[in-house]
Structure formats: C-alpha cells, structure tokens
Chains A and B, each alone.
Chain A
Amino acid sequence: MSPLPPGNETVPLDWASQPDEDHMRRVQAGDTRALEYLIHRWTPRLSAFFYRLTGDPHASDDLLQESFLRLWASRDAFRADARFSPWIHAIARNLATDRARSRDRKPLHRAVTSSGAPGQSTTLLGRIADSATTPFAAASKLEMLARLDEALRSVPETFREAVVLCDLQRLSYEDAGEVLGVPAKTVSSRLARGREHLRQALAAFRSGPIS
C-alpha cells in the first residue's frame, strides 16, 4: 500500500504517518480528501475481508463503495474515543450480512476460474498468481489458496466471521467482539471452533485429490 493516493498532490505528506482516527475526524468535518485517503488506505483490506466473508469477488466492488458511503453518511456517529478499525469492520460486516440475506451467495469457484489479461486480474486468486515469480510458484499458491478458500466455505458463518476478523484481518479479540457485538471471550471460543473446522477440512484435502 503506497502512502499517498496517486494524483492527489494536495494531501499533506504527514498524513501517511497519522492514524486512521485523525483522518476520520477530518471526514467528520466534511473533508472529502480525508475520505479519499481512507478509501485508498482501506480498500485492499476491506476487499479481502469481503471476499473472505462472501466468497464472491464480484460483490466486493459494490460492497466497498457502499461501505465508504455508509462511513460518510454515519460519520457523525464516530465517537471521539472510538477506534477506526473495528468501526469500519462493523460497517462492512453489516453490509455483507445484509447482502447474504438478500441474495444467494455466488459459488466460490468463480474466483478460481475468473481470468483476465496477465497482470490485470481482479480476483483474489488471480492477483496472487500475478504476484508469483514463477508459474510453479503461482500454481502452488493457487492450489493452497483454493483449498483454503474451500475449507473456509465449509466453516459455519458464525465461526468463519471470527476467523476472518482475527486471523485474516488481524483484529484483537476485543476489536472483533466490538464488530460482532459479543464479548472477547465469545470471540475466543468462536475462533477456536472456526480453526478446528478449518483444520479438519484441510486434513481432508490432504488425504484426497485436488478437485
């Protein structure tokens, strides 16, 4: 992630070293440059979050825009002592939950089979393949992630949320609890169950052929 949005020369250089909360306070004051900066800073992370939660790479563009629009619309609700990461994750998670309720989720294999011009992939797995240094490394990475994705899809949603928030988004138990509206102890329990599901699913892959 580069520190400054390209083409936005008006952003002060010291913004890169400032915490998200400072930028959010600028957003609260109506500064759309700060909003643009947060979008630049958080798009990669939220994109991965949506993909892991929904399994649909095509849904994430729409959800990304909706997340930041909701951030803007509810900017006054961001408390002075609030932390940005759990707050934006809660927005994103609510959107993903609403989306899951309103339509059937797309099958995960779309992400694997989607293709584009070399170096221009838009799916998670495609980007990983693009980043690999050799075709073998790319195939290996893709294989591993395809299995992980499939294993994640087999984890019940309640536990998968905990895994995505804590292991993939690196939130603390407390922050994940804030996103999910449960105590940290509950997050710990759900995370343990989610990891156990994954362990079993990955062990099954290990003993069987790659589909």
Chain B
Amino acid sequence: MNCEDAREGVSAQLDGALPAGEREALESHVAGCAACRAFRVELADVRTLLRGVDDLDEPVSRAAAVGKGVLARIEEDPGRKREKWMVFVGIGVVAACAMIVAGIAWHYRPREESEHGPAPVLREPSPAFHGHLELRAADAATRDALRELFRQWRGTSSLSQPEAGPEFAFAADFDGPDDPAFLERLRAFQRDHGLSIRSWKFSSSTR
C-alpha cells in the first residue's frame, strides 16, 4: 500500500467504513510512515470540526414561513385546481347517473299496460260496484275493442267469450269501485259501435 492508498483508507477508517481486508494493510503502512500517521491525526481533526458545525437550531418561524409558502403555492397550482375541478365534475357525473337510473327505474316501475288506469294489483278494489255485460257483435273487431276497454277497469273482472257463431259474443262480470268515468266510456262504446252491435245487455248494482 502506498501513501495515496493509505490516505484514502484513513478517511474510510475514521468513518468505520474500511473493509476488514484492508485494515491490516493500512495499519502496517501507517506504522512505518510518519507522514501518514500525522495525516491521520489531522484528518481526524478536520472530520471532528466538520461534524461539530451542523448542530444548529433553525428558527422555528423560518420552517413555519417555508411551510406557509409551500402550501400557498400548492393551493395555487393549476394541477391542484384541476384536481378539485375534476372532483366537482366527478360528483356531478355521479349525481347525473343516479338521476338517470332513478328515472329509468321510475319509467319501468311495475304497472298496468295503460297509463290511465292503475294496476288492479296495486289497488285494493272497493266491493261497492258490480256489473254484468253481454255483447253480441257483428264483427270480431267490435268484440275485441270492448275486451280492450275492459283492461281499463280498476277492479276485478271475469271475462268470457262464448263459442264463435254468426255473431261475435263477449260477456263480463266485473266488481270494484264505483267508477262513473268507466261507465261513461262503456256508454260511449255502445254509441260509437252501434252499427256493429247486435245486442247489448248491461246490468249493475252498488252496495
């Protein structure tokens, strides 16, 4: 080991970082080299001096000022503003999706085919009204139209269709709340299809 190698080794030795394999060679050189022995003492002084100067108390107010400045600039950062803006957009999108889902659910809620009459299953019919109707029509269209009309009845109904003959027959027994509007529609049907109706027997009672 020459003096140059030894001086690098001395520096590492002061830090306890000299590999074990090099210690013996270094000690052997230093033992026989007065210049390197003196160098080791001086370098130790330099190291001690350096390691004694960074023990400083920074004013607490300085750290606070730095922190305040950093946080203020982070808040001003366009990227952070964009992040905040995107959060608002995200909330808006989620809210819009929720409203759309709710709207779809409302649109496809369980109900009768017609918008005008609520589903019988959803309403407990009042037993106040009972009706009986027998129709004999000249054509199937008239019979089917009456059958379709009975879908609007809000109570329970029992429909029957006698065997087809020269006339098209239809009979219905229906119970439920007293519904003047439905009865008016029946009367309108009778008027509108008068030419096709061969017979029309209607009776009703209320309790």
Contact = CB atoms under 8 A, between A and B. Distances in A.
Interface of A: 1-2, 5-7, 32, 35-36, 39-40, 43-45, 47-48, 61, 64-65, 68-69, 72, 122, 124, 127-128, 131, 144-145, 148, 163, 166-170, 173, 188-189, 191-193, 195-196, 198-199, 202-203
Contacts of B64: 5-7, 40
Contacts of B47: 167, 195
B83 to A, nearest CB: 9
**Lowest 5 A-B CB distances belong to which pairs?**
A44-B58, A192-B11, A43-B63, A167-B50, A39-B67
Contacts of B57: 1, 44, 127, 131
Contact of B66 (A1, A61, A144): A61
Q: Give the interface size class of chain B.
A: 20 to 34
Contact of A199 (B46, B53, B70): B46
Contacts of A189: 8
B73 interface: yes
Interface string B22-49: 0000000000000000010011001101
B43 A127 contact: no
Contacts of B60: 2, 5-6, 40
Contacts of B46: 195, 198-199, 202
A153 to B, nearest CB: 14
A211 to B, nearest CB: 18
Contacts, number: 115
Given A69-B70, A169-B54, A199 B8 contact: no
A188 B7 CA distance: 11
B12 interface: yes
A124 B67 contact: no
Contact of A163 (B50, B56, B69, B70): B50
| Chain A binding surface SS class | helix
Contact of A203 (B10, B17, B42): B42
Contacts of A32: 71, 74
B15 A166 contact: yes
Given A6-B60, A44-B57, A199-B46, A191 B11 contact: yes
B100 to A, nearest CB: 30
A133 to B, nearest CB: 14
Contact of A5 (B51, B63, B73): B63
Contacts of A170: 51, 54
B56 A128 contact: yes
Given A39-B70, A188-B11, A199 B50 contact: no
A188 B17 contact: yes
A124 B58 CA distance: 9
Contacts of A191: 11, 15
A173 B15 contact: yes
A118 to B, nearest CB: 14
Contacts of A122: 62
Interface in B99-115: none
Given A43-B66, A148-B49, A163-B50, 20 more contacts: A1-B58, A5-B60, A5-B64, A6-B60, A39-B63, A40-B60, A40-B64, A43-B67, A61-B62, A65-B69, A65-B73, A68-B70, A69-B70, A72-B70, A72-B74, A145-B53, A168-B50, A189-B8, A198-B46, A199-B39
Given A1-B57, A48-B54, A39 B66 contact: yes
A176 to B, nearest CB: 11
B17 A36 contact: no
Contacts of B70: 35-36, 39, 65, 68-69, 72
A47 B69 contact: no
B108 to A, nearest CB: 41
A68 B53 contact: no
Contacts of A173: 15, 17
